[in-house]
Amino acid sequence: MSVIEPVTCAWLEERGFAVRKPAIWHAALTHGSMGEPADYERLEFLGDRVLGLAVAQLLYERSEAPEGALALRLNAVVSRQMCAQVAREIGLPAHVRISKQAQADGGRDSDNILGDVMEALLGAQFLDNGYQAARELIGALWGPALDRGEGRRKHPKSALQEWAAGNQRRPPEYELVDRSGPDHAARFTVRVRVHKVGEAEGTASSKQEAEKAAAAEFMEKFG
């Protein structure tokens, strides 16, 4: 049976996770590069849905905002970047089980990997302790982001789209111009262009985040 190192088990418990079935948590912390029978991918799939439901419920309870505003905030609060931020805040990188090669490639500090493992831990919390326990944990870990109004500001791509329309310009065009690094630590560079105005680029760990960064850079330069 897969077991959790005592120091990792103590770390989980200190941060609000409740470890009853060690094998689930062992898998949640294991990257595919380890070549073990179980890794975090299936648990990440589950945890992503648990996180979305819990945050949607919290937003609904805390706000009278309309559906569109709630959806924007939800997307911001459950983004991979936010999951990675929470992961770093609780000290997760040191406990990810990852091969030496993947670690050398930057995997231990990858937003993609940290975000996925964070969601896998939420999936483990749900399976091992039920939805209410998972919801309470999410409320505690994501509470600061909710309290500071994460996602209330307009998404950069939406802002750029509206700016172009308001200035009687063609819609912005996004183009992937570069992808580098291994799959688990990939970097994407996207260029956004508005006809007869200019262009800007953004780089991030996913194409979506790179588009967002490019739109923000464009607005900074031309908005």
> 């050398």: which residue's tokens?
104
- List phi, psi (to 5°) of 176: -75, 115
Task: Quote the CA–CA distance of 223 and 207 in Å, as a whole number.
Answer: 22
Query: What are φ and ψ of residue 201, in 5° steps?
Result: -125, 155
Helix, strand, coil shares of the chain as percentages rounded to 5? 60, 10, 25
Alpha helical stretches, state H, 143-206: 143-147, 156-166
Whole-angstrom distance, CA of residue 97 vs CA of residue 25: 11
Q: Does 119 qualify as catalytic in the annotation?
A: yes
Q: Of 39, 44, 48, 211, which one is the catalytic site residue?
A: 48
Asked if 17 contacts 95 with a C-beta cutoff of 8 angstroms, the reply is no
From the list 44, 111, 116, 119, the catalytic residue is 119
> What does the DSSP 8-state code read for residue 204?
E
Determine the Cα–Cα distance for residues 215 and 223; give it in Å rounded to an integer. 10
Give the torsion sign (CA, 207, 210, 211, 212). positive
Question: Are residues 59 and 73 in contact, defined by beta-carbon separation less than 8 angstroms?
Answer: yes
Catalytic residues: 48, 119
